[in-house]
Structure 1
Amino acid sequence: MSLILQREDYFPGDTLPVTVAERLPQPSFPAHRHTFSEIVIVWRGNGLHVHNDRPWLVTCGDVFFIQDDDCHSYDSVHDLVLDNILYCRDRFSLGIDWAQLIPARTAESPVCWRLTTRGLALARGVVTQLERECRKNDPLSIQLAEALFLQLALILRRHVYAADRPWALPEGEQLDLLMSALQGSIDRPFDLAGFCQQNQLSERALKQLFRQHTGMTPSHYLRQLQLCQAKYLLRTRECLISEIAARCGFDDSNYFSAVFVRETGLSPSAWRQQFIASARPAGLPCRLT
């Protein structure tokens, strides 16, 4: 059974609609739910975020929209720095259609987005102001906190893009372009040298920039993305191990199994077996959704 985090333990006052919980760094944390919603913005480092049983590799620029009935946890964290912007929609007083700004959890709308470098800088400034106002509980500060939350939601809407449906960013900075390309290469090899040549970038400088923000090399990041996708498919699709290996960028299923065991301590079959007894749709075809 997952933990349930209560409003009174995180909100300074019973009328405050939003508050900020800094995680500098975010430690591993067991599966939990809350009686509030939250927006998670990752500033640095990397880790595994399991959201409603789906594993996501998270790093600088990732954004998650967590509803109060969601279950999530953190594991395998490495200098993971993030902010949790907690909010209670029933406490908002501004006449805003929040459903148009904060994405709902649907099959068509992913819960994980990426924030561009420009958006990350803008969001950081607003979150810093919001964190200061949330320490107060006077009426003016409460109104200002809600206004700042609105500003943050608008920034996110303008500067986020779907992490599992990447595309080329016409005005993206170097890190945005590389992240987008890697997200789109889970099922095939990625040629970093060719990417840099095509985009007229310095491969050495780009590698340094990537490691500075994520704590990983591009190749390690891609491998972790592939393993996250493999875990998801093993749990939700009745595919042959060789099919899953191919869909996650591994030409050799034996090599895939060896890498999977090294990273998780379990073979792909043993990983899948953990969830056989769990309730899950049976007979789903081997395709991504």
Structure 2
Amino acid sequence: MIHLKPNDFFHSSNSFVTTELRTPQEDFPEHYHSFEEIIIVAKGNGLHAVNDVPTCLSKNYVCFVAQQDRHLFENVNDLFLSNVLFIRDKLEPSFSLTQFLPCTLSGSVDWFIEDEAAHRVHVIIEHLNTESHVNTLASAAMTELLFQQLVVELWRGRIVDTSSLSLSDKVTQTIMYVNKNYKEKLSIERVAEHIKVPIRTLTREFKRATGMSFNHYLHFVRAQHAMQLLLNSESSITKIAFEVGYSDSNYFSTKFKQVMKKAPRQVRPLC
């Protein structure tokens, strides 16, 4: 497995924040690194697997990757993203990351930000990309300030209030709704009524955002959670099928294999 080290990305031993802009991001094999990372998706879609569990990337998706995480990118489609790399131990003690980012030991955590927040984040990243690659005292100071601003903006830009969302944000709300309610009997018609968007519009925009149909994405999310249970619990395949929203374990196994390209028993043969 590839091990990415600070010397490969940070311009000096005194540097603790840098950027790697991927426009576009290509498929990249499984790797880990001796620093932490924030991934912000600007557009496109693709799969991001963290510790063997895949997630569908789409616009305004944000992901925190801890040092112990293994991750990869595959099946990317016009995927534009920003990687913000940082070394937590070198940050000034006056700024507490724990207020705005997950603890390192908690592993990978993801969320979505609103369109307006995404625009502000884009401007910050442009400035951060410039300053973080200049080896001067002034740029180091500016890099720290911009990184602090970025982290706070990502935190407060999380989608919480859904009362006045744009169409783009409503599509993101749909993705979040499926991610949360995947165990239920969901349909595009039900969700379209819930978020008050015409079915044809939601069908088109959902496919554009995720690269998948609504039903394909629903099975993907269920398979994602099933993979976590297969890797981290002792539950039987039948029990896992029920826990992720299926009433038939054989149907679950079929859909799981379609999504993951392997059967549940290939993930954990003894279950």
Give TM-score scaled by structure 2 length: 0.86
Contact 2:45 2:209 in 1 (8 A): no
1:134 maps to which residue? 132
2:229 maps to which residue? 233
Contact 1:168 1:177 in 2 (8 A): no
Contact 1:42 1:58 in 2 (8 A): yes
Residue 160 of structure 1 aligns to a residue in which SS? Answer: coil
1:82 maps to which residue? 81
1:259 maps to which residue? 255
Deviation for aligned residue 1:168: 7.3
Contact 1:168 1:181 in 2 (8 A): no
Match runs of 1:62-211 below 5 Å: 62-93=61-92, 95-105=94-104, 111-160=109-158, 169-172=162-165, 173-211=169-207
Deviation for aligned residue 1:176: 3.2
Residue 181 of structure 2 aligns to a residue in which SS? Answer: coil
Distance verdict in 2 for CA 1:262–1:215, change over 3 Å: closer
Aligned partner (choices 245, 249, 264) of residue 249 of structure 1: 245
Give TM-score scaled by structure 1 length: 0.81
Query: How far apart are the structure 1 equivalents of 2:257 and 2:108?
Result: 28
Letter in 2 for 1:67: A
Deviation for aligned residue 1:150: 0.8
**Unpaired segments of 5 or more residues in structure 2?**
none
Letter in 1 for 2:146: L
Deviation for aligned residue 1:153: 0.5
Distance verdict in 2 for CA 1:201–1:25, change over 3 Å: same
Residue 68 of structure 1 aligns to a residue in which SS? Answer: coil
More helix by share: 2
Contact 1:55 1:232 in 2 (8 A): no
Letter in 2 for 1:224: F
Matched, 1:221 2:214: no
Query: How far apart are the structure 1 equivalents of 2:41 and 2:202?
Result: 20
Letter in 1 for 2:222: Q
Deviation for aligned residue 1:155: 0.7
Letter in 1 for 2:147: F
Residue 102 of structure 1 aligns to a residue in which SS? Answer: coil
Deviation for aligned residue 1:141: 1.6
Distance verdict in 2 for CA 1:129–1:212, change over 3 Å: farther
Query: How far apart are the structure 2 equivalents of 1:58 and 1:265?
Result: 19
Deviation for aligned residue 1:233: 1.4
Query: How far apart are the structure 2 equivalents of 1:45 and 1:248?
Result: 27
Deviation for aligned residue 1:193: 1.8
Matched, 1:5 2:19: no
Deviation for aligned residue 1:158: 0.5
Query: How far apart are the structure 1 equivalents of 2:88 and 2:267?
Result: 38
State the identity %.
29
Deviation for aligned residue 1:94: 6.9
Provide the alpha-carbon RMSD of the alignment.
Answer: 2.6
Contact 2:2 2:31 in 1 (8 A): yes
**Unpaired segments of 5 or more residues in structure 1?**
162-166, 277-282, 284-289
Query: How far apart are the structure 1 equivalents of 2:198 and 2:51?
Result: 39
Query: How far apart are the structure 2 equivalents of 1:214 and 1:225?
Result: 12
Query: How far apart are the structure 1 equivalents of 2:75 and 2:227?
Result: 15
Query: How far apart are the structure 1 equivalents of 2:35 and 2:114?
Result: 26
1:287 maps to which residue? none
Distance verdict in 2 for CA 1:217–1:103, change over 3 Å: same
Letter in 2 for 1:191: S
Contact 1:117 1:175 in 2 (8 A): no
